[in-house]
C-alpha cells in the first residue's frame, strides 16, 4: 500500500477549494459530452444501433480499465494522473468538436467510437485519482463535511449542465458544445496544475502492480455489500444510461425541428 501525505488542519482548505473547482468543471464537461454524444452520432445519419455502440465503447473501456486506474492511483502522483486524464479528454473532445464545426460532412461513426473509447479509458484513470486526492488533501476529522460540500457541487453540475447542454446544442450545434466540454477539461487540468500534494511512494517493477490488483480484488470480493452493490449497478446503471443517453436523443431526433443548425 502507498503512503499518503497528511493534511494539517490549518492548510488544507485552500487546496481543497482548488480541488473542488477542478473536479466541478471536469464533471460539467463530462455531463456536456454525455448529453450531446448520441445527438452528434445521430446527426451523421446513423441509427440508434450505431449510437448505442458508440456509447458502449465508452462504458466498456471505462469498466475494464477502472481497476487498472485504481491500482495506478496508488503508485503514481494522483494529481498528475488527473491532469493527464483531463488533458486527454480535452484533446479528444476538442478534435471531435472541431470536426463537427468545420467539416460536419466528414464526421463518421467510427470517429465517435474511437473518441468514446479514449474517453472511457481516460475517465478510468481520472476517477480513482480524484477520489484518492480527496483523502490526501482533507484531514480525517473534516472528511465528512468536505465530502458533503463536494457532493453538493457535483450534483449541481449533474443536474444543471445536461439541460444547458441540450439548449446550447439545439441553438448553436453539438460541435460547439463539445468544444465547450473540451475547454472544461482543459480548465480542470490547469486548475489542478497549481495543486500541491505529495505523491504516494512508488513501487518499482511489474510485480507490485499485479500484486496490488490481486490485493484489491481480494478486498472487493471479501465484502459482500460491495460486490452486491456492484452487481446491482450492472443492472440499474445500463437501464438508466439507455434512457438518459440513448432513448431520449432517439425520441427527440425523430421529431421535426429539433436538429441543430
| Poorest-pLDDT segment among 42-56, 95-109, 181-195, 197-211 | 197-211
CB atoms within 10 A of CB 220: 13
Answer whether residue 43 shows pLDDT above 70.
yes
pLDDT of residue 152: 92
Most confident range (mean pLDDT) of 12-16, 230-234, 253-257 is: 12-16
pLDDT of residue 240: 66
Answer whether residue 13 shows pLDDT above 50.
yes
Alpha helix stretches (DSSP H) within 74-205: 78-102, 109-137, 143-172, 174-193
Identify the band that residue 237 occupies on the pLDDT scale cut at 50, 70 and 90.
low
- Sign, Cα dihedral of 214, 228, 131, 244: positive
Answer whether residue 132 shows pLDDT above 80.
yes
| Poorest-pLDDT segment among 106-115, 155-164, 184-193 | 155-164
Helix (H, G, I), strand (E, B) or coil at 202: coil
Contacts 24+ apart (CB under 8 A), 101-108: 101/173, 101/175, 101/176, 101/179, 104/43, 104/175, 107/40, 107/43, 107/44, 108/44
Amino acid at each position: 500500500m502507498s503512503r499518503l501525505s497528511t493534511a494539517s488542519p490549518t492548510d488544507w482548505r485552500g487546496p481543497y477549494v482548488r480541488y473542488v473547482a477542478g473536479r466541478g468543471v471536469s464533471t460539467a464537461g463530462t455531463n456536456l459530452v454525455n448529453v450531446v454524444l448520441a445527438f452528434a452520432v445521430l446527426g451523421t445519419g446513423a441509427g440508434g444501433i450505431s449510437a448505442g455502440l458508440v456509447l458502449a465503447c465508452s462504458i466498456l473501456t471505462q469498466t475494464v480499465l477502472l481497476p487498472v486506474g485504481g491500482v495506478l492511483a496508488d503508485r503514481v502522483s494522483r494529481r498528475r494522473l488527473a491532469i493527464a486524464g483531463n488533458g486527454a479528454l480535452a484533446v479528444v473532445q476538442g478534435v471531435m468538436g472541431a470536426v463537427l464545426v468545420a467539416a460536419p460532412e466528414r464526421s463518421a461513426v467510427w470517429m465517435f467510437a474511437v473518441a468514446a473509447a479514449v474517453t472511457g479509458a481516460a475517465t478510468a484513470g481520472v476517477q480513482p485519482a480524484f477520489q484518492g486526492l480527496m483523502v490526501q488533501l482533507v484531514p480525517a476529522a473534516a472528511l465528512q463535511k468536505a465530502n458533503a460540500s463536494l457532493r453538493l457541487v457535483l450534483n449541481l453540475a449533474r443536474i444543471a449542465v445536461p439541460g444547458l447542454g441540450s439548449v446550447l446544442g439545439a441553438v448553436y450545434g453539438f460541435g460547439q458544445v463539445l468544444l465547450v466540454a473540451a475547454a472544461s477539461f482543459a480548465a480542470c487540468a490547469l486548475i489542478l496544475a497549481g495543486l500541491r500534494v505529495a505523491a504516494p511512494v512508488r513501487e518499482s517493477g511489474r510485480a507490485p502492480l499485479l500484486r496490488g490488483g490481486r490485493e484489491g480484488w481480494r478486498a472487493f470480493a471479501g465484502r459482500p455489500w460491495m460486490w452486491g452493490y456492484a452487481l446491482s449497478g450492472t443492472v440499474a446503471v445500463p437501464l438508466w444510461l439507455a434512457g438518459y443517453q440513448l432513448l431520449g436523443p432517439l425520441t427527440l431526433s425523430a421529431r421535426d425541428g429539433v436538429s441543430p443548425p
